[in-house]
Amino acid sequence: AAGAAVDAGTPEARARLPLAGVPLAIKSTVTLDNPVVTPLLAAGAVPVGVTAAPQLCTWGMTDSDAHGITRNPRDTSLSAGGSSGGSAAAVASGMVPLAVGDDGMGSLRIPAAACGIVTIKPGPGVVPTRLSGDNWGGLAESGPLGRTVGDVALALSVMAGRPELARTGPVPGGTRVGLSVASPIRLGRDLVRVHAPWVRAAREAASLLRAEGLVVVDTSLPSPRDPILYLARWTSAVARAAEEENLPLSAMERRTRHHALLGRTVFRRGGAGDGDTRWNRGVRALRADVERAMDSAGVDVWLTPALADVPPEATDWHRRSWGRSLWASMRFSPFTPLANVLGWPALSVPCGSTTTSAGRTLPTSVQLVGRPGSEATLLALAAVIERAGVSQRTPGGAGAS
């Protein structure tokens, strides 16, 4: 119907539609009447397919009995990431120039980085996110995935109803960037090793920004004072989503059932509701620590590796244990949860590349995280990195803009 409406319009009318005729893939968690999709359709985008996600969007790998294994178009022996893995694979493979996904602990940025494309998780209220579990307990936001920063900025501007977001520059004067390459998940020591290609990507992006006259300083992202804060927020979000979707434990994969049961325990102990709970105190403390670190370093934006390693193998993770899926998700994506817990915008953009064990070239990516309201600044910085020509693009793929 959307395509017919575009075809039926006059050339003049179509010219006024910023996404006239652009094919759009939509994550299975989002319906056509969802308020993050309807502006895209009104702008002329044509929905062509629904993309896969893991059960309850829980995991950093996309596979299930319902749709099988979502493989990485760059190297099909690897996962496309998750939970918006189907959307990322659709864009990276050239099936569509734009897709919609959502991000509760990195579910846009993880697969985008795994597949070598661009995405942004906006801050709360920028787009009208409507997801189960009260938007995953306030952790999740919807956003676009695309091949270029310009495409993602255009899609975000339409979703948000803010045309100014389609502009990708210039970077606001005086913007200072803090580079942090150490894993922010620690228990006395780094639990996750950040592999050299991803450290190199972040340092290369820093050099590119410095070459444009921007100030980039070395610093370090604070870790939560409560070592299980991220896990508590993650499990309780899944439990809330399962309850709202009326998904019984008997219908869950073994790993997801374990995750949801752990989340219910968090609820019963009063740890994830409103008010002065342990987890809310932990979030407030983390936010204060991050803001204090930014103020001390005099920076406005964090620059980190987007991932710590290549994504896990493409296999039937949904038939494996909770512990194996948990570690597989955490091992390669320790940088993304911070922005969700803080409620800050963050994006992923390719920079550099590495070689997989199968001998394939896989783009590496960096993450940019800013304070609330910094979406335009993040997009402008990403455009600087992209323009340097180090990003790997889909061969022959046309963009949306």
pTM strictly above 0.85: yes
pLDDT tens per residue across span 3-48: 555 655 666 666 789 999 999 999 999 999 999 999 999 999 999 9
DSSP one-letter code for 30: S
pLDDT, residue 395, reads 46
Among residues 168, 112, 218, 212, which one has the least CA distance to residue 378? 168
Q: What is the rounded distance in angstroms from the CA atom of residue 33 to the CA atom of residue 159?
A: 13
Domain spans, the chain? 23-387
Catalytic residue among 27, 79, 84, 333: 27
The verdict on whether 27 is a catalytic residue reads: yes
Query: What's the rounded mean pLDDT across residues 385-393?
Result: 70
Grade residue 149 by pLDDT with cuts at 50, 70 and 90: very high
Backbone angles phi, psi at 125, to 5 degrees: 85, -10
pLDDT of amino acid 280:
86
How would DSSP label each residue in 234-283?
HHHHHHHHHHHTT--GGGS-HHHHHHHHHHHHHHHTT-SSSSS-HHHHHH
Residue 105 has pLDDT above 70, yes or no: yes
DSSP reduced 3-state for 192: coil
Residue 289 CA to residue 130 CA, distance in Å, equals 30
First to last CA, the chain: 22
Sign of the Cα pseudo-torsion (141, 129, 54, 311, in order): negative
Closest CA to 106 of 43, 199, 185, 180: 185
From residue 117, alpha-carbon distances to 139, 267, 312 in Å are 22, 36, 18
CATH H superfamily, domain 23-387: Amidase signature (AS) domain (3.90.1300.10)
Section 364-387 average pLDDT = 98
Mean confidence (pLDDT) of the chain: 92
Catalytic choice (64, 84, 87, 107): 107
Is 60 exceeded by the pLDDT of residue 325?
yes
| Rounded Cα gap, residues 300 and 176, in angstroms | 5
The pLDDT value given to residue 342: 96
pLDDT score of 189 more than 70: no
Query: Looking at residues 186-205, what average pLDDT do you find?
Result: 87
Higher pLDDT, 92 or 265: 92
